[in-house]
Amino acid sequence: MKLRLLLSCCIVTLLFGLSAATSSLATNDEQPVVPTNVPPPIISNVQVKVEATSATVTWTTDSPATSAVLFSDTSLSTVVPYGTTDKVTEHKIVLNDLEPGTTYSYMVISATGNESVSATDPDIFVTLGPDGEVVPPTVIAEPSPTTVPSLADTSGPTIDVWYGDDQEFGQSGVQQRWINILGKVTDPDGIASLTYTLNGGNQRTLRIGNASGPAGQCTNRRLYNKGDFAIEIGINDSSLNVGENTVVIRAEDNDGQVTLEEVTFTYTQGFAPGIFNIDWSDVSNIQDVAKSVDGDWELTEDGDVTAVDIGYDRLLAIGDQSWQDYEVTVPVTVRGFDNENGVNFPSGGPGIGVIMRWQGHYGPGEGTLGSRWWNCQPRMGYAPFGVLGWYRAVGGTDYKLHFYGNSDQVIASDEDFILDFNTTYIFKLRVETVDGQGRYSMKVWEEGTTEPSSWNLQNVLSPESLPNGSLLLVAHHADADFGDVQVVQLVDGSPVTPTPTPEPTATPTSDPSVTPTPTTDPSVTPTPTTDPSVTPTPTTPSPLNETTYLPIIINASTDE
């Protein structure tokens, strides 16, 4: 019983950061804790697997709860806590650095809220001897109240930066006007604030995704899942360096505990890649050849790329804003559409496809359609672009292959095409400038069959189409894979025939005074470079004349 009292006095301080168990469940500022009205979990099936220097404790609870084990050797000189505040039903705690052949007393603790704590009666386990032999238990000593340590939990929020804490932008082209650093922040106590600084500047506020919140103009869009965040740094930001940059993310939970996460990234300016292809099986880090605009993307074992979570507009950008007339071919395999959440506001129906001539998201007053967009972080305006060619449930129910334009309207459709799940289709889209305007064509056929000579949709004018831009792979509430991406430049409506390319003669400079500087007017688009033609490589980027773009393969070999 005395051991139980000794260990129990530490439970609340371990799990919820209170100053001491004798504080009658008062917080550090002596304010009473508000009951959560969540019943404590029921603990069952407690098991211990022992080794000579470790023990693995497992148990289950009837509802998601925190995990902790308090244990001590026979002297009770120190009560050691091991645990996590993540809420699960299948619990596993590994106790390391134990002494061989030693008797330990322990308790299992789980909690669903500040006052909803469950603990088992004290029990013992004995580690194996030095040679793996079974050792009999010894008598547990009487506890001494003076030996109880302070076990206040000082852990802050968990910040998960997708694609790592060391990233590069611009080395494979500038796909859009924004540098996006994406991730997720979590804490069982809830997040009170999330901010970041760029190169030691002022704190900038980040919005946090909340999938359970009400749908609104800024919610359930780009930050689709709870805890999602998106840092959005303009390529014309006065605090952005050409070269190395440092972002420090600061998260504070509702108990005032703070976590800082530092991210360094390199920004390369002035490198405009030629039209290129991507073989995903040769890529180890997605960010080497493409940039995630929204969502956490990963490479598959089959040599494809896919969004980890299904949600609103999972976007992967490829290429450069300077791209004008080109054709893209990509295999697409859809396993399913989210017809439950994907039809609700603001989603309007699941879909899968490609955006051509993309330059980035817009805020209020930005671009030619800026009056349409709300003031959100991150920006929520997706137009103007070139065109969105995809297979989507128009109005949430009527699936069809179609072009979607800047006016939020279907501008051309194929009513007869039907896409089957778990079948790979080849999507081919092209954009050409005709009489100063972008015209678009699209064809889709099943992989393994002959490419049709005709297009499903051909020579379609997209009103207010941008004159240039990169391409986006779009998975909108879709569980889908994209295969290898093949892109070719078009000249007079025909693909460029590959020819030998000269050796590189120039490399981009880090001096902003001698490199192309993007315009600060979102409505103005970049103009093609006229530098001498050279072949770009992933490790030594070089300018490339846009009038002689040639297909190349980018094979990234750096580990993620």
Domain ranges of the chain: 2-147, 272-495
Query: Distance between CA 456 and CA 214 in Å, rounded?
Result: 39
- What mean pLDDT, rounded, does the chain reach? 81
Q: What is the pLDDT of residue 289?
A: 95
Given a cut of 50, whether residue 499 has pLDDT beyond it is no
Given a cut of 60, whether residue 46 has pLDDT beyond it is yes
Q: What is the pLDDT of residue 38?
A: 75
**Tell me: the pLDDT tens digits for 154-186?**
589 999 999 999 999 999 999 999 999 999 999
Least confident segment among 191-200, 389-398, 465-474, 551-560: 551-560
Query: Distance between CA 415 and CA 456 in Å, rounded?
Result: 10
DSSP 498-551: P---PPP-----S-GGGS----S-TTS-PPPP-SPP----SSS-----GGG---
Given a cut of 50, whether residue 557 has pLDDT beyond it is no
Given a cut of 50, whether residue 15 has pLDDT beyond it is no
3-class DSSP state of 188: coil
* Residue whose C-alpha is closest to residue 293's, from 207, 234, 361: 361
The single residue listed with the structure tokens 């001494």 is: 144
Q: Do strands 351-358 and 326-337 pair parallel, antiparallel, or not at all (unpaired)? A: unpaired
When pLDDT is averaged across residues 230-246 and rounded to a whole number, the result is: 97
When pLDDT is averaged across residues 138-143 and rounded to a whole number, the result is: 54
When mean pLDDT is compared over 86-90, 253-257, 396-400, 449-453, the highest value belongs to: 449-453
Q: What is the pLDDT of residue 208?
A: 95
Given a cut of 60, whether residue 26 has pLDDT beyond it is no
Q: What is the pLDDT of residue 115?
A: 66
Least confident segment among 102-116, 131-145, 156-170, 266-280: 131-145
**Tell me: the pLDDT tens digits for 424-445?**
999 999 999 999 899 999 999 9
| Phi-psi domain of 396 (left: phi exceeds 0; alpha: psi -120 through 50; beta: other) | left
Share of the chain above pLDDT 70, in %: 77
Given a cut of 70, whether residue 339 has pLDDT beyond it is yes
Q: What is the pLDDT of residue 211?
A: 67
Top CATH class, 2-147 = mainly beta
Given a cut of 60, whether residue 488 has pLDDT beyond it is yes
User: How close are the terminal C-alpha atoms of the chain, in Å?
Assistant: 52
Given a cut of 70, whether residue 149 has pLDDT beyond it is no
Q: What is the pLDDT of residue 549?
A: 30
Query: Distance between CA 23 and CA 13 in Å, rounded?
Result: 10
Q: Which CATH superfamily is domain 272-495 in?
A: Exo-inulinase; domain 1 (2.60.120.560)
Least confident segment among 4-18, 309-323, 370-384, 480-494: 4-18
Query: Distance between CA 134 and CA 140 in Å, rounded?
Result: 18
* Residue whose C-alpha is closest to residue 231's, from 178, 285, 269: 178
Q: What is the pLDDT of residue 72?
A: 84
Q: What is the pLDDT of residue 24?
A: 28
CA atoms within 13 A on the CB side of 499: 9
Query: Distance between CA 147 and CA 136 in Å, rounded?
Result: 26
Q: Which two tokens stand for residue 327?
A: 């054709």
**Tell me: the pLDDT tens digits for 55-98?**
999 999 999 988 888 888 765 555 667 788 888 999 999 988 88
Query: Distance between CA 154 and CA 14 in Å, rounded?
Result: 9
Burial letters 253-279, b for 16+ CB under 10 A, else e: bebebebebebebbbbbbbbbbbbbbb
Q: What is the pLDDT of residue 219?
A: 87
Query: Distance between CA 125 and CA 52 in Å, rounded?
Result: 12
Strand partners, 56: 49, 94
Of the pLDDT bands very low, low, confident and very high (cuts 50, 70, 90), residue 349 is very high
